[in-house]
Chain A
């Protein structure tokens, strides 16, 4: 089973949103995680915190806020941004998106277009996707014992940046973000001993 790909939709238009949700359901392994209206505060932060692989945007719902949001999302390398456009859309707006879906296309054209954007489903070994690498396990153990990024870097002779990259990978693989959550995982899998953890606390 490969990982479910999360989609966040930005739109005020109900009919459009309902359509996008239906379209996403056509592709297996994808789901609409959340729908935000264009008037939401701190929209970009909210989107990023949901860790979507895709953000589908109705440009009409954002108006002048569109350019800024696209610029902010552009810094997120793991997020693909898809614009909903039509044949009558302003060329200027169409060109702002690396990926687009045309609202006038029929179902099969849309499914095909979306499938192209999404790419082939990754064929990871079933059940293996949450297996951590040796390095990741090491870092998880140190985290569970209460060490900071800097301390882990010093101890394992890595740069802080590398430690942080590994942490991100661990979180993505396990679906656990907080240090306490990661500690629970490490304890349950007997990667660390509870006495070691408690000594730190």
Chain B
């Protein structure tokens, strides 16, 4: 179902609860009554087209393949991507860490296994943090510089050289390894963790990992299918001058 601006946000959330963390990233709190998406966006000063693009891309992973026209700036997009990073680092990852350490504390038979699991997740976290850090310190500032240069019609020589040196196309392949580790972790829990105890906690952990995995995939999709093409356009524009 295509989500549109005159729909009630409440209906949308009923229809797809995966969107709850997404609206939270736009600082929309539950308790919004019967307001339509357009109304809420207006009140919160959110670009409606942008909000709908993000909602639809989470709701239907094939949405972005068909909808590439965009009425929003790279800066707006990056602001959102950073909110998402915050959600991973401040909410999702600590939640999962908490679940694992709870399991470790309660474990009677398989303490060693949970210990190994915890170490593996910490390793995964380190890698994710490194990846996010690189995006926020390197990629995003570069994109914002590009957009500013296009808007103000003035290109500094240093920007020129970073386009030649860096270029966004090199950035796409970087999501892979983070995704692989998470998939391995799920497989280990489903197939290989000795099945003696704490099944309920395992279901919960597995669910949280699956939610994180889906969110990360959608996030990567937004970066690959919206951010990258947008930046390629900006690069071309700047180099064309």
Complex contacts, A187 vs chain B, CB 8 Å: 112, 116
Contact A177 B180 (CB under 8 A): yes
Complex contacts, A184 vs chain B, CB 8 Å: 116-117, 120, 184, 188
B113 within 8 A of A: yes
Q: Taking the nearest CB of chain B, how far is it from the CB of A56, in angstroms?
A: 16
By secondary structure, the B interface counts as helix
* Interface bits A158-170 vs B (CB < 8 Å: 1, else 0): 0000000000000
Assuming the contacts A40-B65, A189-B192, asked whether A178 and B184 have C-beta atoms less than 8 A apart, the reply is yes
How many angstroms from the CA of A197 to the CA of B225 in the assembled complex?
40
Contact B180 A178 (CB under 8 A): yes
Contact A178 B65 (CB under 8 A): no
Complex contacts, B116 vs chain A, CB 8 Å: 184, 187-188, 194
* Interface bits B113-138 vs A (CB < 8 Å: 1, else 0): 10011001001100000000000000
Number of interface residues of A (CB under 8 A): 24
Q: Taking the nearest CB of chain B, how far is it from the CB of A164, in angstroms?
A: 17
How many angstroms from the CA of A194 to the CA of B124 in the assembled complex?
18
Contact A181 B181 (CB under 8 A): yes
Contact B188 A176 (CB under 8 A): yes
Per the 8 Å Cβ criterion, residues 79-122 of B in contact with A are 112-113, 116-117, 120
A37 within 8 A of B: yes
A175 within 8 A of B: yes
Contact B180 A188 (CB under 8 A): no
Q: Taking the nearest CB of chain B, how far is it from the CB of A108, in angstroms?
A: 29
Q: Taking the nearest CB of chain A, how far is it from the CB of B213, in angstroms?
A: 13
B191 within 8 A of A: yes
Q: Taking the nearest CB of chain A, how far is it from the CB of B110, in angstroms?
A: 8
Of A39, A49, A175, A183, which one neighbours B176 at CB under 8 angstroms? A49
Complex contacts, B4 vs chain A, CB 8 Å: none
- Tell me which of A12, A45, A175 has the highest count of chain B C-beta atoms within 10 A of its own C-beta: A175
Complex contacts, B184 vs chain A, CB 8 Å: 175-178, 180-181, 184
B residues adjacent to A (C-beta < 8 A): 62, 65-66, 112-113, 116-117, 120, 123-124, 172-173, 176-177, 180-181, 183-185, 187-188, 191-194, 224-225, 228
State the 9 A-B residue pairs at the shortest beta-carbon distance, nearest first: A181-B184, A37-B65, A175-B187, A187-B116, A176-B184, A184-B120, A177-B180, A188-B113, A178-B181
Give 9 A-B pairs besides A181-B180, A184-B120 with Cβ atoms closer than 8 angstroms.
A37-B65, A41-B225, A42-B173, A181-B120, A183-B120, A185-B188, A187-B116, A188-B192, A194-B116
Task: Give 5 CB contacts A-B under 8 Å.
Answer: A178-B177, A180-B124, A183-B120, A189-B192, A194-B112
